[in-house]
Protein backbone atom coordinates (compact mmCIF):
# COMPACT_ATOMS: atom_id res chain seq x y z
CA UNK A 1 0.00 0.00 0.00
CA UNK A 2 2.79 2.41 0.92
CA UNK A 3 4.48 1.81 -2.44
CA UNK A 4 1.25 2.55 -4.29
CA UNK A 5 0.71 5.79 -2.37
CA UNK A 6 4.27 6.79 -3.15
CA UNK A 7 3.73 6.10 -6.85
CA UNK A 8 0.66 8.38 -7.08
CA UNK A 9 1.98 11.16 -4.83
CA UNK A 10 1.25 14.56 -6.35
CA UNK A 11 -0.76 13.13 -9.26
CA UNK A 12 -4.48 13.44 -10.03
CA UNK A 13 -5.01 10.02 -8.39
CA UNK A 14 -3.68 11.29 -5.06
CA UNK A 15 -6.78 11.99 -2.94
CA UNK A 16 -4.77 13.31 0.02
CA UNK A 17 -2.24 15.76 -1.42
CA UNK A 18 -3.15 18.64 -3.75
CA UNK A 19 -1.66 17.99 -7.19
CA UNK A 20 -1.99 21.65 -8.19
CA UNK A 21 0.02 22.83 -5.20
CA UNK A 22 2.62 20.16 -5.92
CA UNK A 23 2.97 21.25 -9.55
CA UNK A 24 2.61 25.04 -9.38
CA UNK A 25 3.13 25.91 -5.73
CA UNK A 26 -0.34 27.50 -5.52
CA UNK A 27 -3.98 26.46 -5.45
CA UNK A 28 -7.10 28.48 -6.24
CA UNK A 29 -8.83 27.03 -3.16
CA UNK A 30 -6.09 28.28 -0.83
CA UNK A 31 -6.43 27.13 2.78
CA UNK A 32 -9.95 25.88 2.02
CA UNK A 33 -8.62 23.14 -0.28
CA UNK A 34 -9.82 19.65 0.68
CA UNK A 35 -6.35 18.23 0.01
CA UNK A 36 -3.07 18.86 1.77
CA UNK A 37 -0.65 21.58 0.69
CA UNK A 38 2.72 20.10 1.62
CA UNK A 39 5.11 23.04 1.85
CA UNK A 40 8.75 21.97 1.46
CA UNK A 41 11.33 22.57 4.16
CA UNK A 42 14.03 22.78 1.49
CA UNK A 43 13.89 23.69 -2.19
CA UNK A 44 15.85 25.45 -4.88
CA UNK A 45 12.86 27.61 -5.76
CA UNK A 46 11.37 30.64 -4.03
CA UNK A 47 7.98 32.14 -4.89
CA UNK A 48 7.42 35.86 -4.34
CA UNK A 49 3.66 36.05 -4.16
CA UNK A 50 1.79 38.70 -6.22
CA UNK A 51 4.96 40.76 -6.58
CA UNK A 52 4.50 41.99 -10.17
CA UNK A 53 1.71 44.47 -10.84
CA UNK A 54 1.17 45.35 -14.48
CA UNK A 55 1.02 49.09 -15.16
CA UNK A 56 -2.39 48.70 -16.80
CA UNK A 57 -3.74 47.57 -13.41
CA UNK A 58 -2.43 50.54 -11.45
CA UNK A 59 -2.11 53.62 -13.68
CA UNK A 60 -5.24 55.77 -13.44
CA UNK A 61 -6.38 59.22 -14.46
CA UNK A 62 -7.93 61.76 -12.09
CA UNK A 63 -11.43 60.40 -12.74
CA UNK A 64 -10.36 56.86 -11.86
CA UNK A 65 -10.24 55.42 -15.37
CA UNK A 66 -7.24 53.38 -16.44
CA UNK A 67 -4.48 54.96 -18.48
CA UNK A 68 -3.89 53.20 -21.78
CA UNK A 69 -0.29 52.10 -22.36
CA UNK A 70 1.16 50.68 -25.56
CA UNK A 71 2.46 47.12 -25.83
CA UNK A 72 5.99 48.50 -26.20
CA UNK A 73 5.64 50.51 -22.97
CA UNK A 74 4.20 47.54 -21.12
CA UNK A 75 7.05 45.29 -22.27
CA UNK A 76 9.65 47.86 -21.24
CA UNK A 77 8.04 48.20 -17.81
CA UNK A 78 8.08 44.44 -17.37
CA UNK A 79 11.67 44.07 -18.59
CA UNK A 80 12.79 46.75 -16.12
CA UNK A 81 10.98 44.96 -13.29
CA UNK A 82 12.40 41.59 -14.26
CA UNK A 83 15.96 42.90 -14.46
CA UNK A 84 15.71 44.67 -11.11
CA UNK A 85 14.48 41.56 -9.27
CA UNK A 86 16.84 39.18 -11.09
CA UNK A 87 19.99 41.26 -10.52
CA UNK A 88 19.29 41.92 -6.85
CA UNK A 89 18.43 38.29 -6.10
CA UNK A 90 21.46 37.01 -8.01
CA UNK A 91 23.87 39.46 -6.36
CA UNK A 92 22.58 39.04 -2.80
CA UNK A 93 21.69 35.35 -2.63
CA UNK A 94 23.37 33.31 -5.38
CA UNK A 95 23.28 31.97 -8.91
CA UNK A 96 19.87 31.81 -10.54
CA UNK A 97 19.07 28.90 -12.84
CA UNK A 98 15.65 30.19 -13.88
CA UNK A 99 13.24 33.00 -13.06
CA UNK A 100 9.64 33.23 -14.24
CA UNK A 101 6.72 35.61 -13.74
CA UNK A 102 3.08 34.52 -14.02
CA UNK A 103 0.79 36.35 -16.44
CA UNK A 104 -2.32 34.72 -14.93
CA UNK A 105 -5.23 36.69 -13.45
CA UNK A 106 -6.34 34.31 -10.67
CA UNK A 107 -5.59 35.62 -7.17
CA UNK A 108 -3.39 32.65 -6.32
CA UNK A 109 -1.12 33.17 -9.34
CA UNK A 110 -1.34 36.80 -10.46
CA UNK A 111 2.07 38.46 -10.42
CA UNK A 112 3.81 35.49 -8.78
CA UNK A 113 7.57 35.51 -9.32
CA UNK A 114 9.39 32.15 -9.17
CA UNK A 115 13.15 32.28 -8.64
CA UNK A 116 14.98 28.96 -8.96
CA UNK A 117 18.47 29.14 -7.47
CA UNK A 118 21.23 26.69 -8.18
CA UNK A 119 21.57 25.79 -4.52
CA UNK A 120 18.99 25.18 -1.81
CA UNK A 121 20.83 27.18 0.83
CA UNK A 122 20.70 30.24 -1.39
CA UNK A 123 16.93 29.88 -1.73
CA UNK A 124 16.56 29.51 2.03
CA UNK A 125 18.69 32.60 2.61
CA UNK A 126 16.54 34.55 0.14
CA UNK A 127 13.31 33.60 1.94
CA UNK A 128 14.69 34.59 5.34
CA UNK A 129 15.80 37.98 4.06
CA UNK A 130 13.02 38.86 1.63
CA UNK A 131 10.23 38.44 4.17
CA UNK A 132 11.70 41.47 5.93
CA UNK A 133 11.69 43.55 2.75
CA UNK A 134 9.29 45.85 0.92
CA UNK A 135 8.91 46.30 -2.83
CA UNK A 136 6.90 49.01 -4.56
CA UNK A 137 5.44 50.14 -1.25
CA UNK A 138 4.18 46.64 -0.35
CA UNK A 139 5.65 43.95 1.94
CA UNK A 140 7.27 41.01 0.15
CA UNK A 141 5.77 37.57 0.83
CA UNK A 142 8.34 34.86 0.02
CA UNK A 143 8.30 31.14 0.67
CA UNK A 144 9.93 27.96 -0.58
CA UNK A 145 7.89 26.16 -3.21
CA UNK A 146 7.94 22.57 -4.54
CA UNK A 147 8.14 23.88 -8.13
CA UNK A 148 11.43 22.94 -9.75
CA UNK A 149 10.23 21.74 -13.17
CA UNK A 150 8.44 24.58 -14.95
CA UNK A 151 7.56 22.32 -17.85
CA UNK A 152 5.14 20.52 -15.54
CA UNK A 153 3.82 23.78 -14.09
CA UNK A 154 3.12 25.60 -17.37
CA UNK A 155 0.01 25.45 -19.52
CA UNK A 156 0.98 23.73 -22.76
CA UNK A 157 -2.11 25.04 -24.55
CA UNK A 158 -1.12 28.61 -23.69
CA UNK A 159 2.34 28.07 -25.14
CA UNK A 160 0.69 26.98 -28.39
CA UNK A 161 -1.79 29.87 -28.28
CA UNK A 162 -4.73 27.51 -27.68
CA UNK A 163 -5.68 27.93 -24.00
CA UNK A 164 -9.42 28.55 -23.69
CA UNK A 165 -9.32 29.40 -19.98
CA UNK A 166 -7.53 32.69 -20.51
CA UNK A 167 -5.90 34.41 -17.55
CA UNK A 168 -7.86 32.30 -15.08
CA UNK A 169 -6.19 29.05 -16.13
CA UNK A 170 -4.90 27.08 -13.14
CA UNK A 171 -1.56 26.33 -14.80
CA UNK A 172 1.13 28.95 -15.26
CA UNK A 173 1.00 31.39 -18.14
CA UNK A 174 4.53 32.79 -18.12
CA UNK A 175 5.13 36.38 -19.16
CA UNK A 176 8.09 36.52 -21.58
CA UNK A 177 10.95 39.00 -21.31
CA UNK A 178 12.73 40.31 -24.38
CA UNK A 179 15.23 37.92 -25.95
CA UNK A 180 18.19 40.29 -25.58
CA UNK A 181 17.52 40.82 -21.88
CA UNK A 182 17.24 37.08 -21.24
CA UNK A 183 20.53 36.39 -22.95
CA UNK A 184 22.28 39.22 -21.13
CA UNK A 185 21.05 38.33 -17.64
CA UNK A 186 21.69 34.60 -17.79
CA UNK A 187 25.06 34.93 -19.52
CA UNK A 188 26.12 37.47 -16.90
CA UNK A 189 25.04 35.16 -14.07
CA UNK A 190 26.83 32.13 -15.51
CA UNK A 191 30.06 34.04 -16.11
CA UNK A 192 30.05 35.52 -12.63
CA UNK A 193 29.45 32.28 -10.75
CA UNK A 194 31.49 29.99 -13.01
CA UNK A 195 34.47 32.26 -12.46
CA UNK A 196 34.22 31.69 -8.73
CA UNK A 197 33.71 27.93 -8.91
CA UNK A 198 35.99 25.07 -9.79
CA UNK A 199 37.15 21.64 -8.73
CA UNK A 200 36.38 21.13 -5.08
CA UNK A 201 33.52 23.59 -5.00
CA UNK A 202 32.01 23.80 -1.50
CA UNK A 203 28.58 22.70 -2.70
CA UNK A 204 27.16 20.16 -5.09
CA UNK A 205 24.03 20.61 -7.19
CA UNK A 206 20.85 20.20 -5.19
CA UNK A 207 18.27 17.49 -5.71
CA UNK A 208 15.37 19.27 -4.02
CA UNK A 209 12.39 17.49 -5.52
CA UNK A 210 13.78 14.00 -4.97
CA UNK A 211 14.62 14.73 -1.32
CA UNK A 212 11.24 16.32 -0.69
CA UNK A 213 9.40 13.35 -2.23
CA UNK A 214 11.44 10.94 -0.08
CA UNK A 215 10.53 12.95 3.01
CA UNK A 216 6.82 12.82 2.16
CA UNK A 217 6.97 9.05 1.49
CA UNK A 218 8.66 8.47 4.83
CA UNK A 219 5.98 10.48 6.61
CA UNK A 220 3.28 8.33 5.00
CA UNK A 221 5.08 5.13 5.94
CA UNK A 222 5.28 6.28 9.56
CA UNK A 223 1.55 7.12 9.56
CA UNK A 224 0.73 3.70 8.08
CA UNK A 225 2.80 1.95 10.76
CA UNK A 226 1.09 3.94 13.51
CA UNK A 227 -2.35 2.96 12.23
CA UNK A 228 -1.43 -0.74 12.42
> Does a structural domain hold residue 200?
no
> Does a structural domain hold residue 166?
yes
> Does a structural domain hold residue 163?
yes
Q: How would DSSP label each residue in 28-67?
A: TTGGG-SSB----SS-SEEEETT----GGGT-B-TTSPBP
Burial annotation 5-23 (CB, 10 A radius, 16+ → b, else e)? beeebbeeebeebbbbbbb
With a cut of 50, say whether residue 40 has pLDDT above it: yes
With a cut of 70, say whether residue 181 has pLDDT above it: yes
With a cut of 70, say whether residue 157 has pLDDT above it: yes
Number of domains the chain is built from: 1
pLDDT of residue 135: 94
Which domain range does residue 153 map to? 38-187
- Least Cα distance to 93 among 125, 56, 52, 49 occurs for 125
- Least Cα distance to 81 among 60, 59, 101, 110 occurs for 101
- C-alpha 158/C-alpha 170 separation (Å) is 11
- C-alpha 159/C-alpha 29 separation (Å) is 25
Cβ atoms of 100 and 71 within 8 Å: the answer is: no
Residues near 20 by Cβ (< 8 Å), separated by ≥ 6?
26, 27, 28, 170
pTM score: 0.78
- Whichever domain contains 94, its CATH number is 3.30.70.330
* Mean pLDDT along residues 194-223: 58
> Does a structural domain hold residue 30?
no
- Least Cα distance to 105 among 179, 158, 147 occurs for 158
pLDDT of residue 204: 44
pLDDT of residue 228: 54
pLDDT of residue 215: 67
> Does a structural domain hold residue 203?
no
Q: Per DSSP, what are the bridge partners of residue 193?
A: none
Question: Looking at residue 115, what DSSP letter applies?
Answer: E
Amino acid sequence: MAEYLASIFGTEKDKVNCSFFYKIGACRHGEQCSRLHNKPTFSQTVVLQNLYIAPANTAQTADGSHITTSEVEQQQFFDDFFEEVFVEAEEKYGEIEEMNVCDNLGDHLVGNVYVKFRFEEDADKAVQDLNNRWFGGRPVHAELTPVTDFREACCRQYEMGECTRGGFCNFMHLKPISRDLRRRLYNRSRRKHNAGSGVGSRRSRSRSREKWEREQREKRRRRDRDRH
